[in-house]
Structure 1
Amino acid sequence: MANIFEDPKKASRKTQLFEAGIHALENDGWQVEKIPGFGKGSVRKITKGSQERIVSIRTTQDQWIAFPRNDAGDAWVTLSDVDAVVAVSVDDKENPRFAQVHLIEGDEMRARFDRAYQARIKAGHSVPKKRRGIWISLYDEEASSPVSRVGAGAGIAHKPIARIPLAEPGLPAEQEKKEAGHAGTDLRPLSISDAKKSLSMFLGVPEESIEIIIRS
């Protein structure tokens, strides 16, 4: 799928989509919290009354989402650990105007990814290893052929809990807001641990999958 970090606007929009997911949950009555000591940046604890759930917030700008298999190949990284998935997608791949936020049960998403994984193996496809993702489409109807359609359609089966307008990345007003937010702040030394945590949150990947190499 597309590498969003080749385009600064897409990188900015990823942050917007993630924040839209949190905003939608809060508007739906959930309290959203980071989990102390939990290295997976996309994962949050959400609480509403007596309900407490662990969710993974996944963003997409091409309307496909991915989870990788673990190193042993017997479970899904992150997906196997959560109660639900918050899938946040643009409404249109070419001209996105809204973030569409879907709340999907973890068991259903695991079943969809299991079907997709097994179908690709059965079809003789080379499946990604070493924490590279298997991708499924949110908005295509699920079908047995082509094999890429197996597991698809979660965004069709579960209507959005929210549609949130997207700002255009790079507009002067947005840039001004960013600059105002950073006004008066001083640069400070950043440890490797802090850098990994920040990258984990921004990229939505586990800290342990990030390697930082320093050359002098």
Structure 2
Amino acid sequence: MTNVYATLEKLQYAKRLFEIGIEYLEGQGYEVSRVPRSGKKSLRRVKKGKEEFNVAIRTSQDQWFAFPRDHDGNWLGMDDVNVKRVIVVALNTRDKDKEKFGLVHDFAADEVRKRLNKNYEARYAVNPNFDVSHGNWISLYNEEAKEPTSFVGAGIGIKFPPVARVPLLGKTADDAGEVDVTEASEFSNVPATVRQREDNDSPLTIAEAKRRLALTFGVEPNAIKITIEA
């Protein structure tokens, strides 16, 4: 749930993570192309022989990813464009040398949809007026829990481990080798606000803190009150 547009560095990470998603699909033998007139920048059409379908690519710099939901209950970027698979490329680092790399997950759209629905229903039960037009967030590596409601449906990246680990510089998906899922889970028990500060040295604003707390507890940002004592 980090603001990936906060710095030029994060914009560059987002671009490279998306490229890794494309490279992974191409490494699987698919021809990858844009979907004409779809208006979805993260949507791709893949084709291999007689097999052809739509893929949604998501990038994550804090091990969470999201899809927005419309008033009819459709997950935009997935249900409305008949997506079959969801590729999520998450940023992570090696403990020994702090090299940054992308973890590639290849999820069935039905599994992602099931977890989104479960998370949405839990949040709706707490606050029927909460807004997911900008995205309903799912944690990749936190263990699923009933509380806080943001952890309902979590852990998809644990159940379905990364299929590739690609350094951001110097290697391709074919060079990534076998994935150790324990590396993917290194931030799994760290609160979201702490993860953001470890990945971003810029100050955390009150508005951003309220937004993130609201996502965690399934309430509107204006319901969050923050007191700072010097």
- CA, structure 1 residues 144+122, in 2 after alignment: closer, same or farther (shift >3 Å)? same
Gap regions ≥5 residues in structure 1:
169-216
RMSD over equivalenced CA pairs, Å: 2.0
Number of the residue aligned with 1:113: 116
User: How far apart, in 2, do the equivalents of 1:128 and 1:6 lie?
Assistant: 22
Question: Residue 186 of structure 1 aligns with which residue?
Answer: none
User: 1:5 aligns to what?
Assistant: 5
CA distance change for structure 1 residues 48 and 112 in 2, over 3 Å: closer, same or farther? Answer: same
- The reply to whether residue 101 of structure 1 matches residue 91 of structure 2 is no
- Counting only pairs closer than 5 Å after superposition, residues 1-216 of structure 1 correspond to structure 2 as 1-70=1-70, 72-80=71-79, 81=81, 82-92=83-93, 97-124=100-127, 126-129=129-132, 131-167=133-169
For residues 58-80 of structure 1, the C-alpha deviation after alignment (integer angstroms, 9 at most, x for no partner) is: 0010000011111x242111121
Deviations 1:136-164 (A, max 9, x none): 10111212222111111111111222111
Change (3 A) 1:118 1:96: farther
Secondary structure at the counterpart of residue 12 of structure 2: helix
Residues 48 and 116 (structure 1), Cα distance of their counterparts in 2 relative to 1, 3 Å cut: same
Which structure has more RCO (C-alpha within 8 Å, separation ≥ 6)?
1
Distance (whole Å) between structure 1 residues aligned to residue 48 and residue 145 of structure 2: 36
With over 3 angstroms needed to count, the CA separation of the structure-2 counterparts of 1:13 and 1:93, relative to structure 1, is: farther
Flag the 1:133–1:27 CA change in 2: closer, same or farther, 3 A: same
Q: Which structure 2 residue ranges, 5 or more long, are not aligned?
A: 171-230
Percent identical:
41
Q: May I ask how many residue pairs the two structures share in their alignment? A: 166
Q: Which residue of 1 aligns with 2:222?
A: none
Task: Give the SS at the match of 1:5.
Answer: coil
Q: Moved runs in structure 1, 4+ residues, more than 2 A?
A: 91-96, 123-127
Amino acid at match of 1:128: D
Letter in 2 for 1:75: N
When normalised by structure 1's length, the TM-score is: 0.71
TM-score, normalised to structure 2, is 0.67
Check whether the contact 1:90–1:96 (CA below 8 A) recurs between aligned residues: no
Q: Alpha-carbon deviation of 1:4?
A: 1.5
Other-structure match for 2:177: none
Q: 1:125 to 1:2 in 2, by over 3 A?
A: farther
In 1: Cα distance, 2:99 partner to 2:60 partner: 11
Partner amino acid for 1:77? Answer: L
Report the AA paired with residue 90 of structure 1.
L
> Secondary structure of 2:20's partner?
helix
Report the secondary structure of 2:120's partner residue.
Answer: helix
Whichever residue aligns with residue 125 of structure 2, its letter is: K
Question: Taking structure 1 as reference, are residues 45 and 78 closer, same or farther at Cα in structure 2, changes over 3 Å only?
Answer: same
Letter in 2 for 1:115: K
Please say which of residues 109-118 and 159-168 is displaced more in the overlay.
159-168
Name the aligned partner's letter for residue 148 of structure 1. Answer: S
